[in-house]
Amino acid sequence: MVRALVAGDGFVQPRILREALARHAPEVEVVELRNGWPAEAFGDVDDVQEALGDVDELIAAAQGCDVIFTHTHPITSRVIDSVAGLRMVTVTRGGPVNCNVEAATPKGVLVSYAPGRNATATAEHTVAMILAAVRQVADRDKELKDRVWRGDLYEYEKVPPEVRGSVVGMVGYGAVGSRVAHVMVAMGADVAVYDPYTPAERLEEGCRKVEDLSELCRQANILTIHARVTPETVGIIGKEQLQLLPDNAVVVNCARGPLLDADALADELENGHLWGAALDCLPTEPLADDSRLHGAPNLTMTPHLGGASKIAAEFCADLGARDIAAFLRGERPQFISNTEVLD
């Protein structure tokens, strides 16, 4: 009998993981564990990132298991060393950041993940944030709730731009960026893409490639960030890039907080250079009490909810369960982080 630990949380719940396994690998015996995310924030746990949970509790629950199927639990080197007979770890995230792949590989433990699992949800949220920033929805909502009627906002100098006819500059054109680009093209935007890893021929009709980030910033009326965090991309949009944007530009970040210099953004909002901004990813999460973003004008923020949807939770569990089932049948799983284990 194959045994699996389904280690869920408040978003990708143990029930969702269990039901996905029952659809694709009904022969697997299941043990359940749950952590407190997202009510409790995740962070670094030993040698992994963006994780939450007690390592000793996880080790105890995983004893006798062939597979660990998780979303946010910390699959540290100690977990991998302490679970005899562990054959596979499946992380239902876009990358296995909470699993020590380097420790798993020499032990022969296969690691799989769920790329693109919430790309549609994040793209939808990004589009919503672009429109919220352009139309300054949050500010207008607050004014009305404070019983303030701003009829003066229909004056020409105060009315917003439109997506139609704007240059939407995209930093990154992956699973999320490409979906956002599709909507922006449909709305009549001129979509310009900076992505060194995506050739021009892969861009959809209505998009054009810009080879230089500074040139993209000079053109972009709306700048939206869709890059992964790497040593090269941390702070990719900082003071220099923000100052290159045209007057009354909009900045949106629904990717990761470290990609954008938050203090530089606050400067450009406060001095009136930018029309507005919208952030789903923040410099610290939760946002620090002394962050300048709390008082920045024309800024809409959400607490890192871009990838949150019921479909995303169910879809990532299904992707993971399919890979587990394939592995148990002796087939090659689709989304593997350490292919050398199979090779």
- CATH number of the domain at 3-117+309-341, please? 3.40.50.720
CB 176 within 8 A of CB 183: no
177-226, pLDDT tens digit by residue?
Answer: 999 999 999 999 999 999 999 999 999 999 999 999 999 999 999 999 99
Residue appearing with tokens 């972009």: 220
Is 41's pLDDT higher than 90?
no
Does the fold of domain 119-301 match that of domain 3-117+309-341?
yes
Mean pLDDT (whole number) for 299-328: 96
Catalytic residue annotation? 256, 285, 304
**What does the mean pLDDT of the chain come to?**
96
**Is residue 191 within 8 Å of 168, Cβ to Cβ?**
yes
- Separation between Cα atoms, residue 258 and residue 273, nearest integer Å: 22
Give 144-179 pLDDT, tens digit per residue.
999 999 999 999 999 999 999 999 999 999 999 999
| Cis omega (within 30 of 0) for bond into 303 | no
Polymer length of the chain: 343
Residue 6 near residue 21, CB atoms below 8 Å: yes
1, pLDDT greater than 90: no
Say what the pTM is: 0.90
Strands of the sheet containing 249-253, edge to edge, are 207-209, 190-194, 167-171, 222-225, 249-253, 274-279, 299-301
Domain-by-domain residue ranges, the chain? 3-117+309-341, 119-301
Q: What is the pLDDT of residue 77?
A: 98
Which has more confidence, 54 or 229?
54
Of the pLDDT bands very low, low, confident and very high (cuts 50, 70, 90), residue 126 is very high
pLDDT higher than 90, residue 128: yes
319: which 2 tokens?
């992707």
Look at the domain 119-301 and name its fold.
Rossmann fold (3.40.50)
Work out the average pLDDT over 59-86. 98
> How far is Cα 171 from Cα 210, in angstroms, rounded to an integer?
10
Q: What is the DSSP string of 54-123?
A: -HHHHHHHHTT-SEEEESSS-B-HHHHHHSTT--EEEE-SSS-TTB-HHHHGGGT-EEE--TTTTHHHHH
pLDDT score, position 343: 81
